[in-house]
Structure 1
Amino acid sequence: MKVEIWSDIACPWCYIGKRRFEKALAAFPHRDEVEVQWRSYQLDPTLPDHHDGTELDYLVDRKGMSRAQVSQMFDQVTSIAADEGLRYDFGSVVVANSFAGHELLHLAKARGVGDEVKEALLSAHFEHGEDIGDREVLVRIGTQAGLDADEIARDLATHTWRDAVVADITAANSLGIRGVPFFVLDEKYGVSGAQPTELFTQALEQAWRESHPLVMLQPVATGIATDAADTVACGPDGC
């Protein structure tokens, strides 16, 4: 079974949603048969590589909210993240365009370490105040996951994975995705947002049942009358 997850690195709910989904997947009996694919999405593709100002300044300008309202939102999200074991520090977040980070993610996915790099990028951005638009930061994150530093630097410089990132964003638009995280299970079921772990559990179970329907075997001919064969089971009305 395949699960595709559209998300942005610069999205606090995407990290929370990742944790909640991971908890559901860890307890899922068929977890070893679930393929998770990270897909790219940008909440604000207009951001420069490096933005002057804090995350609070940026959101006040972008959302038209007061500084007090944004600060209160930070406190609420930080508390929710803490419940999932995440240590958000909005005061140190560096506002930067996430496109290069998504390019790195596609390289990482091609080399089999997509999940490790996704985790590292989210943690770097929200917990450690690192600049996800800085190429040196991206090279370091990639090499720590086992990628080759020269390949990372070359691919980022030549935008080897630009088309792959754009294709993901185009696919999201065609599916009507307007916010992230967004989870698509077996190209059939969609789950929008960082839902509770219990909902992800239900979604996994339902998608699995429909992709692996129970096939009833017919009784082997034994010479026993059909009515008698039908009675070798117990039900609500007796045996």
Structure 2
Amino acid sequence: ADAVEERFYHGSITEGRSLFDRQQLVAMAVEAGMEKADAEAALENDDFRATVSDDEAHAQSIGLSGVPVFVMNEKYAISGAQGADNFLNALRQVWDEQQTEFSATAGQTCGTDGCSI
């Protein structure tokens, strides 16, 4: 599934292929290693509809309305075509915050005899 997803991203963003064209979707899925019959079947049934609907609802709940968008720690979003510096800055911010959270809880342990700080 990850290979197909990556192929869809690459095909749509880098190659300008349409994600709204069934033939293109099937072709890209096959290029990613999926059997053609399986790709066609996936588009014909509703097995993935709930997952897509859940993803859309989650995106709307946090105020997202376009693609591509990258969300980090449910706190930072980078939308549209951004440079590597923007991603690097966001990743550093998330990393710094995580390190602060980890160091705040360092040394605290709990066992059968209770907790120690």
Please, what TM-score do these two structures have when normalized by structure 2? 0.70
Q: What SS does the corresponding residue of 1:190 show, helix, strand or coil?
A: strand
1:194 match:
81
How many residue pairs end up in the alignment?
A: 104
Whole-Å separation in 1 of the counterparts to 2:61 and 2:42:
27
TM superposition shift of 1:204 = 0.5
2:6 match:
115
Q: What SS does the corresponding residue of 2:33 show, helix, strand or coil?
A: coil
1:72-221 counterparts in 2 under 5 A?
Answer: 111-113=1-3, 114-124=5-15, 126=16, 130-213=17-100, 215=103
TM superposition shift of 1:172 = 1.2
Bigger Rg, structure 1 or 2: 1
Please, what TM-score do these two structures have when normalized by structure 1? 0.38
Q: CA deviation digits over 1:181-218, x for unaligned, max 9?
A: 33211222223333332121110111012123374999
- Measured on the aligned residues, the alpha-carbon RMSD in Å equals 2.6
Whole-Å separation in 2 of the counterparts to 1:131 and 1:188:
30
> Is the 8 Å Cα contact of residues 42 and 48 (structure 2) preserved in structure 1?
yes
Q: CA deviation digits over 1:54-84, x for unaligned, max 9?
A: xxxxxxxxxxxxxxxxxxxxxxxxxxxxxxx
Q: Which runs of 5+ in 1 are unaligned?
A: 1-110, 219-239
Whole-Å separation in 2 of the counterparts to 1:179 and 1:137:
21
> Is the 8 Å Cα contact of residues 29 and 36 (structure 2) preserved in structure 1?
yes
TM superposition shift of 1:133 = 3.3
Change (3 A) 1:172 1:205: same
> Is the 8 Å Cα contact of residues 121 and 141 (structure 1) preserved in structure 2?
no
Q: Which runs of 5+ in 2 are unaligned?
A: 108-117
> Is the 8 Å Cα contact of residues 69 and 80 (structure 2) preserved in structure 1?
yes
- Tell me the amino acid that sits aligned with residue 112 of structure 1: D
Q: What SS does the corresponding residue of 1:212 show, helix, strand or coil?
A: helix
> Is the 8 Å Cα contact of residues 70 and 77 (structure 2) preserved in structure 1?
yes
Whole-Å separation in 2 of the counterparts to 1:123 and 1:171:
26
TM superposition shift of 1:131 = 4.9
Normalized per residue, which structure has more helix?
2
Whole-Å separation in 1 of the counterparts to 2:18 and 2:8:
15
